[in-house]
Every structure is written in structure tokens, then in C-alpha cells.
Amino acid sequence: MATPLTIEVEVAYALAERQIIVAMEVPAGTTARDAVRRSGLEKEFPDIDAVQCDIGVFGQRVKSDYVLRAGERVEIYRLLEMDPREARRRLAARGETMRRR
């Protein structure tokens, strides 16, 4: 159980084929960027740049200095492989749609 000087948070990273959520206890006042650094996910996924990657909390993009609250989940965002509009254009050109099959 976390003491009043610490909070429990999660850091999440996902690829198409795999996702990892790291639950951790951090000092109160920890920023979202610090939580990413402390998570150790850079070792598991070398393509993560913990200093520059876009991050969010529960689906909302946040700045690096966002101070976390107990129970929040920091999400590490990847760059899109393709602009979604371009993907739709290419599918439309082939007579297909983005609907799940």
C-alpha cells in the first residue's frame, strides 16, 4: 500500500502485436515524463525516446511537466505509420473501407 509520500500510477506502451502496462509506486509530485523514465520501458522497447516521445494520461495528451495523481495511467504514444486520411484515400481508390471485417 502506498504511503502518503508516494502514489501508485501506471505507464503503458502498445504496439499492434503487444502491449505492456507497468504498475509502479512513485514519489508524490512525479511528472508524467519522470514516470516514463522510471518505468524501464526503454529497455524493453528501444524505439522509445523517453525524453521526446508524446505522452498522455487516459487518452488526453499532456505536457512533460504534468504532475501525476494517484491511479493515473501515463500512455506513451508512437508516431503514426500513415496519416489516417491518406489511408482512407488509398482504401477508397481500391473500393474498400476502414470497416472491421
Domain boundaries, the chain: 6-93
> What number of CA atoms fall less than 13 Å from residue 1's CA on the CB side?
2
pLDDT band, residue 73 (cuts 50/70/90)? very high
Distances (CA, A) of 101 to 38, 92, 97, 98: 39, 16, 10, 9
pLDDT band, residue 86 (cuts 50/70/90)? confident
Min mean pLDDT across 4-8, 26-30, 51-55, 95-99 is at 95-99
Please say whether the beta carbons of 50 and 42 come within 8 A. Answer: yes
Selected from 1.10.3720.10, 3.10.20.30, 3.30.465.10, 3.55.50.30, the CATH number assigned to the domain covering 6-93 reads 3.10.20.30
Mean pLDDT over each residue of the chain, to the nearest integer = 88
Distance CA 92, CA 27 (A): 50
Please say whether the beta carbons of 7 and 14 come within 8 A. Answer: no
Instruction: State if pTM tops 0.95.
Output: no
pLDDT of residue 1: 57
